């Protein structure tokens, strides 16, 4: 097995990355692994490093970082024989939690390098040309991601503070959603399209969704006031958001969202500018991934 570690040196809470890098160095030495460790240097670099690893014959590429690092490394591995392994060190770690992967770095490292580990295949989502593997969103969802990425602190408390600040300046958009032949006109607070069931930290955006079913789950959240926002926040962590009367949900392989004007979207928590028309679709069984053993 030809291994490579791709590490985001600024992922997670302050100081955590240095601890993880030290643990990684000890682990590689103890296991006597012949596995290079490369550090990312900025946006997009992890994808380039992953593609280079595949070109040089790596059969397993280990992403050490958060959801953004996962996304970039995975982009370089889609439709290749190489398998992605995750050592989640970010603040949300949504895909790792969805798949039941170890969150403790030592346990995640052991699974990542286990030659007998189970390899599964998951879907890729595309929002226009941008891949996502966990969740993409627009409206308030993208605004929160944009603000959070500008914050020096990480973790759930910082994310909740950011979400409250974004909600205070909330704006709604009158959008049209195409689901096959169906066209739905709806006022949106936020829209999320999920390949997994959660954002991360146990915030369940699409209860029952799965990353290997060949489908995406679209949740359209209609405008609410402060009391409604508290209710929706509670439902996120109780796992029943889709039961709210202010939420509509569809499951399909593709959607098209028409907004009044261009604006932000996010893919796995990373914000990007996008056109008013956003085409979203699934690419089934397109990424190989190191998974926990199947239950007996």
Contact by Cβ (8 Å): 225, 191: no
The encoded tokens of residue 100 equal: 């039941």
Known catalytic residue at 275:
no
How many other β-carbons are positioned within 10 Å of the β-carbon of residue 172? 16
Could you give the C-alpha distances from 151 to 94, 155, 294, in angstroms and in order? 19, 11, 38
**Hunting for tokens 């970039």 — which residue is that?**
72
Q: Provide the strand spans (E) within 103-207.
A: 118-127, 130-132, 135-139, 173-179, 182-188, 190-194, 198-200, 203-204
Q: Biggest alpha carbon distance in the chain?
A: 59
Q: Which of 31, 56, 178, 270 is catalytic?
A: 270
SS3 25: helix
Residues labelled as active-site residues = 270
């Amino acid at each position: 097995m030809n291994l490579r570690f791709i590490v985001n040196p600024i992922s997670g809470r302050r100081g955590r990355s240095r601890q993880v890098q030290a643990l990684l160095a000890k682990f590689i030495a103890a296991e006597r692994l012949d596995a290079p460790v490369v550090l990312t240097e900025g946006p997009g670099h992890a994808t380039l490093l992953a593609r280079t690893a595949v070109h040089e014959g790596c059969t397993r590429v280990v992403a050490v970082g958060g959801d953004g690092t996962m996304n970039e490394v995975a982009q370089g591995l889609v439709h290749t024989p190489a398998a992605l392994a995750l050592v989640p060190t970010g603040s949300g770690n949504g895909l790792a939690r969805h798949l039941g992967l170890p969150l403790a770095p030592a346990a995640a490292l052991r699974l990542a390098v286990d030659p007998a580990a189970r390899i599964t295949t998951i879907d890729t989502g595309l929002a226009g040309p941008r891949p996502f593997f966990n969740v993409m969103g627009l409206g308030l969802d993208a605004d929160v991601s944009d603000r959070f990425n500008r914050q020096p602190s990480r973790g759930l408390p910082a994310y909740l503070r950011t979400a409250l600040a974004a909600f205070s300046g909330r704006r709604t958009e009158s959008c049209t959603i195409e689901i096959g032949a169906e066209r739905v006109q709806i006022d949106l607070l936020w829209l999320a399209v999920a390949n997994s069931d959660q954002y991360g930290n146990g915030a369940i955006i699409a209860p029952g969704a799965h990353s290997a079913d060949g489908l995406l789950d679209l949740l359209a959240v209609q405008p609410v006031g402060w009391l409604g926002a508290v209710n929706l926040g509670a439902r996120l962590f109780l796992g029943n958001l889709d039961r709210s009367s202010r939420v509509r949900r569809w499951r399909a392989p593709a959607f098209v969202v028409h907004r009044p004007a261009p604006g932000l979207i996010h893919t796995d928590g990373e914000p990007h500018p996008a056109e008013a028309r956003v085409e979203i679709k699934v690419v089934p069984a397109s990424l190989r991934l190191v998974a926990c053993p199947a239950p007996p």
